Amino acid sequence: MRRLIPHPGLSVLLVIVWLLMANAITAGGLLMGIVIGILLPLFTAPFWPGRPSVNYSAGLAFIALVLWDIIVANFEVAAIILFRRNRDLRPAWLTIPLELDTPEAITVLAGTISLTPGTVSADVSSCGNFLLVHALHAPDPASEIARIKSRYEARLKGVFK
Structural Rg of the chain based on CA atoms? 19
The neighbour count for residue 126, using CB atoms within 10 Å, is: 7
| pLDDT mean across residues, the chain | 89
pLDDT in tens, 94-125: 999 999 988 889 999 999 999 999 999 999 99
Query: What CA–CA distance (Å, rounded) separates 78 from 130?
Result: 29
Assign domain 56-159 to a CATH class: alpha beta
The domain segmentation of the chain, as residue ranges, is 8-47, 56-159
Residue 137 CA: distances (Å) to CA of 90, 95, 140, 141: 5, 15, 9, 9
| pLDDT(18) > 60 | yes
Please report which confidence band the pLDDT of residue 2 belongs to, taking 50, 70 and 90 as the band edges. Answer: low
At 52 the pLDDT is: 78
Query: What CA–CA distance (Å, rounded) separates 19 from 157?
Result: 31
Residue 34 CA: distances (Å) to CA of 8, 45, 145, 157: 11, 17, 42, 30
